[in-house]
Amino acid sequence: MKETFNYGFPYPECDPPLTKDISDIEQFRDLAIAVDAEVERIATLADDTIVNPDAAVMFEQSPAGPFANGDQLTFSFLNFDNTGGQLVDLVNDRFTIRQTGFYYVTCFINPNIFSATGNVGVVFRTNGVDGPRHDQANSTSPISTHLSAQEVMRLNAGDNITFEYRGVSFSPGLILVGMYRLV
């Protein structure tokens, strides 16, 4: 039986619109089954990627103590996780990736007060290894600006994403991190 070029769908070798024998009907059935399976696969992929991509947000509001250079950012609150809790790990302050793909990852830090002038920054870490770093310079004391960092990252299933503070010691008012799968 012949197959289509792009998808490998089987197609009848009869002379349509005539059906000459039972094998023509079986070939039409095979074509219908293959097309139905591909349409279902595409519909599921569209729903998973476009309508309901993996997405989550966790945050911390007014943590107990200040963060120093090199401290991992900690989180106590889950804002949402549309996978039923599979992305957010509040115990270890991280996101755990379910599906390999490209992800939009963001971190927002709004300080209560910084004790000195200097850079404030965050490093997006994958499996404990430093990744993209975002810094914001500030020359006022107390520092009153916020840090907003975004990155598109290629991540694999099972990867863990944490966030490490880099800069002068500070006590944040709000730390918010989020992620969602693009494709």
Most confident of 46-50, 132-136, 151-155, 169-173: 151-155
Q: Provide the strand spans (E) within 21-169.
A: 55-61, 77-81, 88-89, 94-96, 101-114, 120-126, 129-136, 147-155, 160-167
- Mark whether 67 and 108 lie in a shared domain: yes
Cα(171)–Cα(90) distance, integer angstroms? 20
- Mark whether 46 and 58 lie in a shared domain: no
- What does DSSP say about strands 88-89 and 170-181: parallel, antiparallel, or unpaired? unpaired
- Mark whether 35 and 96 lie in a shared domain: no
**Nearest in space to 129 (alpha carbons), one of 159, 105, 158, 106:** 159
Task: Show the domain range for 18.
Answer: 2-50
**pLDDT exceeds cutoff 70 at 38:** yes
pTM for the structure as a whole: 0.71
- Mark whether 89 and 107 lie in a shared domain: yes
**pLDDT exceeds cutoff 80 at 136:** no
For the chain, give the longest Cα–Cα distance.
Answer: 88
- What does DSSP say about strands 2-3 and 77-81: parallel, antiparallel, or unpaired? unpaired
Residue 148's pLDDT band (cuts 50, 70, 90): confident
- Mark whether 66 and 39 lie in a shared domain: no
- pLDDT at residue 30 in the model: 84
Residue 4's pLDDT band (cuts 50, 70, 90): confident
Chain segment 83-97, per-residue pLDDT in tens: 888 999 999 999 999
- How far, CA to CA in Å, does 66 sit from each of 63, 96, 101, 140, 144? 8, 26, 34, 18, 15
Residue 16's pLDDT band (cuts 50, 70, 90): low
Structural domain tally of the chain? 2
Percentage of residues in the chain having pLDDT higher than 90 = 33
**pLDDT exceeds cutoff 80 at 146:** no
The domain boundary residue, chosen from 10, 30, 50: 50
- pLDDT at residue 168 in the model: 78
**pLDDT exceeds cutoff 90 at 14:** no
- Mark whether 27 and 98 lie in a shared domain: no
**pLDDT exceeds cutoff 60 at 116:** no
Chain segment 44-100, per-residue pLDDT in tens: 877 777 778 899 999 998 776 678 889 999 899 989 898 888 999 999 999 999 999
Please, are residues 179 and 78 in contact by the beta-carbon 8 Å criterion? no
- Give the CATH number for residue 169: 2.60.120.40
